């Protein structure tokens, strides 16, 4: 029997309460993808590709690498779609796969610095009122891959230090110290870029 989203979604009888509104169009797309329908697969890809590319571009160093990583991530999405249990939104589920793919890409070249607690205690200076998105994006991209990954996962994507540590295979303390150091470095880079 072919899997469909209806067979995957929790039923009311299972007493699962969804904390979000299930989008009927997404149910239709997932059903089509599970049946091997190429148009549904394309529509699902088109629906999420831009947002997921943006996440990956911030994690890796080049547009080509982000594009390659995006393709690999969506291959994994389509392979794993039968395991989508609707415990979160489809977009959040896809984002998790995309972030893991980006992390996997980086693992071969990232060396995390175990930082001392003194970095956590450093006070940051207030941001300049002339700061704009271009300067911030350049500053973030200038961070080393380890600092950039932690900064993006915690500050941009909203993951907790525990979730970030788990995704990056580091300790929670390292995640916190990496973030503190990333903010300090970012502040110094932004001063250089702006003045």
Question: In sequence order, what are the residues at sequence separation of 6 or more whose Cβ sits closer than 8 angstroms to the Cβ of residue 96?
Answer: none
Secondary structure of residue 88 in the 3-state scheme: coil
Could you read off the pLDDT of 79-126 as tens digits, one per residue? 999 888 777 788 888 998 999 888 887 775 544 444 444 444 455 555
Quote the pLDDT of residue 80.
Answer: 92
Quote the pLDDT of residue 41.
Answer: 93
**pTM greater than 0.85:** no
Retrieve residue 137's tokens. Answer: 């994006």
Question: In sequence order, what are the residues at sequence separation of 6 or more whose Cβ sits closer than 8 angstroms to the Cβ of residue 182?
Answer: 143, 147, 148, 150, 151
Tell me which H or E stretch contains 104.
helix 90-107
* pLDDT > 80? residue 43: yes
pLDDT band at 59, cuts 50/70/90? confident
Secondary structure of residue 109 in the 3-state scheme: coil
For residues 161 and 154, the answer to whether their CB atoms sit within 8 Å is yes
- In whole angstroms, give the CA distance from residue 98 to residue 76: 9
Quote the pLDDT of residue 15.
Answer: 38
pLDDT band at 3, cuts 50/70/90? low
- In whole angstroms, give the CA distance from residue 181 to residue 101: 25
Quote the pLDDT of residue 100.
Answer: 87
Q: For the chain, list the domains and their CATH numbers.
A: 19-107 (1.10.1740.10), 118-194 (1.10.10.10)
More confident residue, 143 or 129: 143
Quote the pLDDT of residue 40.
Answer: 93
Quote the pLDDT of residue 37.
Answer: 92
Could you read off the pLDDT of 6-30 as tens digits, one per residue? 554 544 334 344 455 677 888 888 8
More confident residue, 60 or 43: 43
Could you read off the pLDDT of 144-174 as tens digits, one per residue? 888 888 998 898 888 888 888 888 888 888 8
């Amino acid at each position: 029997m072919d899997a469909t989203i209806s067979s995957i979604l929790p039923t009311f009888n299972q007493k699962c309460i969804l904390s979000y509104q299930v989008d009927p169009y997404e149910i239709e797309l997932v059903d089509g993808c599970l049946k091997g329908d190429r148009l549904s697969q394309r529509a699902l890809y088109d629906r999420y590709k831009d947002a997921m590319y943006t996440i990956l571009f911030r994690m890796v160093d080049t547009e080509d690498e982000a594009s390659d990583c995006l393709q690999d991530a969506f291959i994994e999405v389509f392979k794993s779609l039968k395991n989508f249990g609707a415990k979160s939104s489809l977009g959040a589920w896809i984002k998790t796969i995309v972030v893991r793919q980006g992390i996997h890409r980086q693992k071969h070249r990232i060396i995390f610095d175990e930082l001392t607690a003194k970095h956590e205690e450093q006070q940051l200076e207030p941001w300049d009122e002339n700061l704009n998105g271009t300067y911030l994006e350049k500053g973030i991209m200038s961070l080393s891959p380890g600092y950039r990954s932690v900064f993006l996962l915690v500050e941009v994507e909203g993951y907790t230090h525990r979730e970030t540590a788990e995704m990056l295979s580091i300790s929670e303390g390292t995640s916190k110290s990496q973030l503190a150091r990333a903010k300090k470095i970012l502040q110094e880079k932004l001063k250089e870029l702006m003045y």
